A = this chain, B = another copy of it.
Amino acid sequence: MKILCNKTDLLNSVNIALRAVPSKTTMSILECIVIQAENERIKLTANDMELAIDSFVKGDVLEAGKAAIDAKIFSEIIRKLPDNEVSITVNDNYEMTIVCEKAKFKLSGKPCDEFPSLPLIERNACVKLSQFTLKEVIRQTVFSIADSETNKIMTGELFEISQDELKVVSLDGHRISIRKIKLKESYNPVKIIVPGKTLNEISKVIPSDIDKEVFLYFTDKHIVCEFDQTTVVSRLIEGEYYKIDQMLSNDYETKIKINKKEFLSCIDRANLLVKESEKKPIVINIADDQIELSMTSSLGSMKEEISVVKEGKDILIGFNPKFLMDALRVVDDEEVDIYLFNPKAPCFIKDKEESYIYLILPVNFNAGVN
């Protein structure tokens, strides 16, 4: 194999492929990136058995061929080369020579026989949305997936398409995040669970270009995400997602409209008093057109008032401050509406059109102490 390409282009593709190189694995071949040169195309591939990425590089193929090379050392070398043309040659013994200006590296490559090949996926119906929109919707929901593997379904997100609407849902047992996106066209119904890890990696490699599109393809077992020179293929999580509609409600006893930034900064300050070992709630006392937030822990106590526009009853309710902050941080509105029912029922942060709904369960607290 012999290829010529530009250092910057190569580095971009290497950085994208790197996202699918597992940090820990018992199969040492997965620590490699496969470089494949054929038909005038240079393709870099990495695969962690759940997620696989193909990334194409512009360049010249002087001699076709393929080889696997340790991803870590290869990417570090490419990163530190001068900004100029890079030549990569692999001989029959899989010895790789990288030359750029006067720098010349030799590394030991490997044959690709053991490298798992990407599943062949029939590209049927393709769903299009802008790179920016996909990146945003991931950011706005992925924080509320569950970390633990004890409930596999909670580690993924529901992607549900019906007609011209994409609904993305994540939940972890304490909260639910829902985002709805209007698509430009109507599609056949899709209902899949995409692993959170895949979504995190996709949002890291996708550029946030509002004018460029991402193409999504679905099968029963896989999702394919194509953009620019890159293809990401991921396994789906099998199973049935939670029926979230029955957890939602439009009933409320109290509704407040509050300045988001002011509310968020206040919770952020209260959160300073939370110790890992204590998990104290922030207590919100809504009375008249004012809410009082308070927190008491072994570190100290705080109290702060914020003016709000209130409809309905007064209420005293406690929350995990982190959950409120996670949701408020990804809402772009200057003012948010919060709907409450009673101190044992979830609150809803949502807009009128329900383009976003953040449900958060309250926590018990000892009202006497606070």
- Size bracket of the A interface: 20 to 34
A73 lies within 8 A of chain B by Cβ: yes
A82 lies within 8 A of chain B by Cβ: yes
In the bound assembly, the distance between CA atoms of A306 and B103 in angstroms comes to: 10
A299 lies within 8 A of chain B by Cβ: yes
Q: Across the interface, do A77 and B272 meet the contact criterion of CB distance under 8 Å?
A: yes
Q: Which residues of B contact A81 (CB under 8 A)?
A: 269
How many copies of the shown chain assemble into the complex? 2
* Segment at the B interface, from A27-35, A104-112, A335-343: A104-112
Q: Across the interface, do B301 and A106 meet the contact criterion of CB distance under 8 Å?
A: yes
User: Given A80-B272, A272-B76 in contact, is the A304-B102 Cβ separation under 8 Å?
Assistant: yes
A300 lies within 8 A of chain B by Cβ: yes
A303 lies within 8 A of chain B by Cβ: yes
In the bound assembly, the distance between CA atoms of A103 and B269 in angstroms comes to: 9
User: Given A80-B265, A265-B82, A299-B73 in contact, is the A304-B272 Cβ separation under 8 Å?
Assistant: no
Q: Across the interface, do A304 and B104 meet the contact criterion of CB distance under 8 Å?
A: yes
Q: Which residues of B contact A80 (CB under 8 A)?
A: 265, 268-269, 272
- Residue of A70, A102, A265 with highest tally of chain B CB at under 10 A: A102
Q: Across the interface, do A272 and B102 meet the contact criterion of CB distance under 8 Å?
A: no
Q: Which of A302-327 contact B (CB under 8 A)?
A: 302-306
Q: Across the interface, do B300 and A266 meet the contact criterion of CB distance under 8 Å?
A: no
Q: Across the interface, do A301 and B105 meet the contact criterion of CB distance under 8 Å?
A: yes
Interface string of A74-105 (1 = CB under 8 A from B): 00110011100000000000000000001111
| A interface list, Cβ under 8 A from B | 70, 73, 76-77, 80-82, 102-108, 265-266, 268-269, 272-273, 299-306
Top 7 A-B pairs ranked by shortest CB distance?
Answer: A107-B300, A103-B304, A105-B302, A106-B301, A80-B269, A76-B272, A104-B303
